[in-house]
Amino acid sequence: MSAVDDRNDSHSTPQRFGLLRQKEKGYYSVRVKAVAGNCTAPQLALIGELATRYGRGYISLTTRLNLEIPWVKIADVPVVCAALDEAGLSTGSTGRNVRAIVCCKGTVCPHGLYDTQETCRELDRIYYGKPLPAKFKIGIAGCPNNCTKAQFNDIGIMGQRVPQFEASNCTGCGACVVACKARALLLDEDGTLLFRQSLCLNCGTCIDRCPHNAVRLLAEGVTLFIGGTAGRRVMAGLPLGMRIPLSACPALVEAVLVVFLQYGEPGERFRSMMERVGPELVLSTIRDVVQEL
Ligand code: SF4
Ligand code: SF4
Ligand code: SF4
């Protein structure tokens, strides 16, 4: 049975397939997944055509980078879904599973420390739609500017570059002080550079700005935040507190999902599970995976 056939199965839940019942009887909003927030221009044109023909001529953008065609009559849902399938698009990102993964435009953003959209596509290929005790959200930020608010996802991923200062090379020119938006750098009255590490966000900007090779790259990679949530409950995820290579992301996501499948109760969000079983169980499991990398 194809995905479209499934949608017509009266025993299935339409919402599971990205078909959201509206307040108005007989109408659905069809949620179209845009992997990594991208659609090709022809795909976007098709969605527009479908919205004009079967909806009311407009498209809604969701907070997780999906597109919805509202006002589709229930009888028209199969033809809309078939047209989307044919264009390589799918409906979904609903239900108790890994939802559409959100990433920023770090791929092209001047601040991006890694290819966020490719990371998103890779995680989407492996984990999107994986059944879990409750919905599960992953957010990817290319740098500590954190446009995707990584901490407020079940797993947040953020690129970081850690600076190391070489006092012997520093001339006190102040270029890094001007560049540091976190105000982690100061020059004292003598022109000596002061590094307030507790304020440093590990964005790495000072590394690029120093003209005297006095700021070196100590470490780079991504860091994770685990168990964040936003919505009815707003809780920041716990920082993993270490950087890992980008290539290790799938293994760490896998480790978190295995814990969720093992300990989560039906309908229980990951954050609630963490609070019930103790966050250290989750964090220690992840750190064990990191040690084995
Ligand atoms: S989080 Fe950083 S890399 Fe991503 S869009 Fe924002 S500024 Fe750019
Ligand atoms: S890494 Fe970023 S936040 Fe940290 S000192 Fe350098 S510029 Fe400031
Ligand atoms: S930019 Fe380099 S040389 Fe200038 S104050 Fe900063 S660390 Fe020192």
Q: Read off the CATH number of the domain in which 82 is found.
A: 3.90.480.10
pLDDT at 4 over 50: no
Looking at 38, 67, 91, which one is the last position of a domain?
91
State what percent of residues in the chain have pLDDT above 70.
Answer: 95
121 shares a domain with 246? yes
Q: pLDDT (tens digit, 9 = 90+) per residue, 184-220?
A: 999 999 999 999 999 999 999 999 999 999 999 999 9
Residue 97 forms part of a structural domain: no
Structure tokens at 37: 């927030």
C-beta separation of 205 from 180 below 8 A:
yes
Measured distance CA(260)–CA(254) in Å, rounded: 10
- The tally of domains found in the chain comes to 2
Q: How confident is the model at residue 94 (pLDDT cuts 50, 70, 90)?
A: confident
CATH number at residue 226: 3.30.413.10
Ligand index nearest the alpha carbon of residue 145: 1
CA 250, 256, 95, 34: dihedral to nearest 10 degrees?
-30
User: Do 27 and 155 sit in the same domain of this protein?
Assistant: no
User: Among residues 190, 196, 192, 200, which one has the least CA distance to residue 167?
Assistant: 192
pLDDT, one tens digit per residue, over 11-51 is 345 665 788 999 999 999 999 999 999 999 999 999 999 99
Cβ of 106 less than 6 Å from ligand 1? yes
Please give the mean pLDDT across all residues of the chain. 91
One domain, residues 129 and 271: yes
Nearest to 187 by CA among 200, 201, 173: 173
Nearest to 226 by CA among 266, 271, 265, 194: 271
pLDDT of residue 13: 52
Report which ligand 1 atom has the smallest distance to the Cα of 109.
Answer: 8
**160 and 61 share one domain:** no
Within a domain: 268: yes
Output the pLDDT for position 281: 86
Is 112 found in the same domain as 85?
Answer: no
User: In the numeric block, which tokens belong to residue 49?
Assistant: 């055509």
218 lines ligand 2 (CB under 6 A): no
Pocket flag, ligand 1, residue 142 (CB < 6 Å): yes
Contacts of 80 (CB under 8 A, 6+ apart): 30, 50, 54, 69, 72
| Boundary-marking domain end, from 27, 61, 91 | 91
Angstrom distance (rounded) from CA 4 to CA 196: 57
- Write out the residue range of the structural domain in which residue 114 sits: 102-292
